[in-house]
Amino acid sequence: MTQALRERWRRHRQHYEGPMTWTRLVRDSLVLIGALVCVNYWLNLSAGLGAPVDVHAYWVASPDNLYRYSSSTTDSYNYSPAFEFVVGWWRGIPFQAFAAIWRAILLILLVYMAGPFTIFALLNVPVASEINAGNIQIPLALAIVAGFRWPATWAFVILTKVTPGVGLLWFLLRREWRLLAIALGATAAIAAASFALMPSAWFDYVRFLTGSPAPSVAPYYLPLWTRLPFAIAIVAWGALTNRRWTVVVGATIALPVYYITSSAMLVGVLPYARTALGRWVAAYQGRPRARAAGASGASDAHAAAAPLDAGIGSAERDAFG
């Protein structure tokens, strides 16, 4: 394990310590500008602008009665009791601080995944609205991307939104039984620990899920049952053709309710887009090592892609095409 960490750190340093090129300069400038725009957006939101409706539902929830609000109200708690491991322990702080921290986390994850595309992503209405409301689409995207290397992160997906778990078809169709077992085992273990602590809440959660079908809402009015076949088809096609970005797309389409903010989950496609762009730039520049990097997965060949693809491994870096 120590040797593996050293090797990853060596590749990470190589990625950033290579010669400065105009592509690296453009990439790093865009990352910096995007980060500064995120800080400005966060300051404006923290000053009282916007409407943190979703994060308020996490903060106002009572551990003794998580599902006291119906699904039609803004303060409805729509996730399993296991989500309390994420939000329950720090709910006692003032709401303004709670919302500011939550939005900061979302913006940091956005920069991490989008990199030089950050400013363009943030100018997208679903992404900006997602951060304003304080939902979990962006953390879900990261959990799915990271799930190819660390399948236990799928527990976060299944124990919150449930239906995007259709992305696990990737492991099933590719017969990656060990990774599928890790994903399901981690989910079961976390659910069991949560059930041991809050058994009645889990019965309430089951009643909450089965009480009424997921609604179709503005602006798309697309019920789950009409979207789910497309989600399954996209994930299946991606699994058979080795296109990992399709899992993000399929899981997004399979969200239980498709709001205007739901498309923000597609930021999980950006690490793969960055990798593809980096490969194209390397080929365009005609660097001799670009061809070798395509076979070996060396991260320093992808000048326009990083840091996420440098951190999640060569398999993910080769997944786009």
Is 130 a member of any domain? yes
* Domain region containing 310: 15-202+212-317
**Mean pLDDT over residues 158-182, rounded?**
97
Is 7 a member of any domain? no
Which of 219 and 41 is assigned the larger pLDDT? 41
How many Å apart are CA 298 and CA 310, to the nearest integer?
9
Long-range pairs of 29-32 with CB within 8 A, sequence gap ≥ 24: 30/115, 30/116, 30/117, 30/118, 30/119, 31/111, 31/115, 31/116, 31/118
Task: Tell me the pLDDT band of 283, cut-offs 50, 70 and 90.
Answer: confident
Task: Tell me the pLDDT band of 298, cut-offs 50, 70 and 90.
Answer: very low
* 140: Cβ contacts below 8 Å, ≥ 6 apart: 156, 157, 160, 161, 164, 251, 265, 268
pTM, full prediction: 0.85
How many Å apart are CA 321 and CA 310, to the nearest integer?
17
Give the residue from 46, 79, 44 showing the smallest Cα distance to 61. 79
Is 10 a member of any domain? no
Q: Which helix (H) or strand (E) holds 30?
A: helix 22-46
pLDDT tens-digit series, residues 64-85: 999 988 777 788 999 999 999 9
Task: Tell me the pLDDT band of 266, cut-offs 50, 70 and 90.
Answer: very high
Is 6 a member of any domain? no
Is 44 a member of any domain? yes
Question: What type of residue is 235?
Answer: V
What is the average pLDDT value for the chain, to the nearest integer? Answer: 85
Residue 62 is classified by DSSP as B
Cα distance from N-terminal residue to C-terminal residue, the chain: 30
Is 3 a member of any domain? no
Q: Please state which of the ranges 47-51, 122-126, 152-156 shows the lowest mean pLDDT.
A: 47-51
Which of 104 and 2 is assigned the larger pLDDT? 104
- 112 by Cβ neighbours in 10 Å (0-12 / 13-18 / 19+) ranks as middle
Distances (CA, A) of 195 to 81, 227, 257: 8, 31, 25
Is 306 a member of any domain? yes
Total domains in the chain come to: 1
How many Å apart are CA 242 and CA 168, to the nearest integer?
14
Is 9 a member of any domain? no
Give the residue from 8, 40, 67, 106 showing the smallest Cα distance to 212. 67
Residue 288: both structure tokens together:
């001799």
